Amino acid sequence: MTNTDKNWASLVTLLMFGVLFCQSPLACAQANNTEDWESFGLMHLTVEPGEKISGALPIGAGADGIETFIPVTIFHGKNSGPVLTLIAGIHGSEYSPIVSMQRLPKLLDPAEMSGTLIIVHIANMPAFRSRTIYIGPNDLKNLNRSFPGKPNGTVTERIAHVLTEEVIARADYLIDIHSGDANESLRPSYSAYYREAGGEDVVRESRRIAIAFGLKTVVQFAGSFDSVDDAIYTSAQAVTRGIAAMDVESGELGIIDDVYIDPITQGALNVLQELNMVPGQPLPPNNPLFIADRARVYSEHSGIWHADELVQTGDYVTEGTRLGVITDYFGNELQTIYAPGSGVLLILFGTPPVNQGDNIVVIGQVPPN
């Protein structure tokens, strides 16, 4: 049963008994009858209403013989409500989401909560422990290109499979939290959602939580996915399954700094309030800057990256602005990199190694009014 089927089934049940009328499956997810509110199970972990539990979701050894696990904490509120899942560490060297998900549990009391919060502390444990960027150390696969995963695939594919079946499929709302990777400068922090994928209800609810998160910049991803097999990104997998989802990007270069961590923690609390899962009023709308298109530059060479000292991420740059140069390993210039469009310089490589095909620049293009 897909999550959408599940929600529609609950809608039909509620309508049959005349308990209430819901405008959408997602709205129904917030309105389940509290009398039916029971324990919540996730693989071998079971948590009663008003309680929390932490544990490891096992990833069994495949043909590669590699066993690993996914550390999670589940807050099962005393009262009924939606299931919100927060995922950190899809990329193991993106630390501000991981540190934020260490801090968030200390701010929450399940006895005061409604609904269920699943916190995935570190999705990609092999990448975290090996300190790799983008990819896992064993199979060299990018977890955020590996959904829905394979039960008998490589370790990255097995992690994706468990996340899909056990974590994503259980959620009504999903937040996949990233930062610039350990080689990437990234500013400002932003949230993002699919503006076309998953159908009207999913787009509306995804946009709702992306704005409620409270960051001043919101990126709108274009496009949709023909099937769950095409939805290789974490949040794409969710929206294609009919689950509202958003991404967050906050942090850069492996830096641990509250200026990047606090907006994630506060944003998660903002969404919990928006969904009526914790007491308190959500913040008023903050009129964010929407970015609908992104321009990218990919390196044509392998060599050494030298960012121009005059530009920084977060700057507004005009098309043609010089951003840096790629040299060979002897210092000879191979390629000068210019801004491919005008807009906010969101991501720029911040360390010397560059490989052919690397995406070294992302510019967020601001739509004309």
Binding site for Zn ion (CB under 5 A): 91, 94, 178
**Separation CA 360–CA 224 (nearest Å):** 25
- For 256, other C-beta atoms within 10 Å of its C-beta total 11
Shortest gap between Cβ of 210 and Zn ion (angstroms)?
Answer: 17
Closest listed residue to residue 110, CA positions, set 102, 122, 98, 118: 118
Shortest gap between Cβ of 12 and Zn ion (angstroms)?
Answer: 38
Whose Cβ is closer to Zn ion: residue 143's or residue 244's? 143
Question: What is 254-289 written as a DSSP string?
Answer: T---HHHHHHHHHHHHHHHHHTTSSSSPPPPP--PE
Q: Which two tokens stand for residue 80?
A: 């009924």
Shortest gap between Cβ of 313 and Zn ion (angstroms)?
Answer: 15
**Separation CA 148–CA 200 (nearest Å):** 22
Shortest gap between Cβ of 255 and Zn ion (angstroms)?
Answer: 15
**Separation CA 46–CA 39 (nearest Å):** 7
First CA to last CA distance, the chain? 43
Q: How far, in Å, are 55, 277, 367 from residue 203 at the CA level?
A: 32, 21, 19
Whose Cβ is closer to Zn ion: residue 108's or residue 219's? 219
Whose Cβ is closer to Zn ion: residue 26's or residue 192's? 192
Whose Cβ is closer to Zn ion: residue 151's or residue 353's? 353
Whose Cβ is closer to Zn ion: residue 75's or residue 221's? 221
Shortest gap between Cβ of 254 and Zn ion (angstroms)?
Answer: 12
Shortest gap between Cβ of 347 and Zn ion (angstroms)?
Answer: 11
Residue 27 backbone class (left: φ over 0; alpha: ψ -120 to 50; beta: rest): alpha
Whose Cβ is closer to Zn ion: residue 49's or residue 89's? 89
Name the residue with tokens 């919540």: 40
Whose Cβ is closer to Zn ion: residue 132's or residue 265's? 132
Residues in the chain: 369
Largest CA distance in the chain: 75
Shortest gap between Cβ of 178 and Zn ion (angstroms)?
Answer: 3
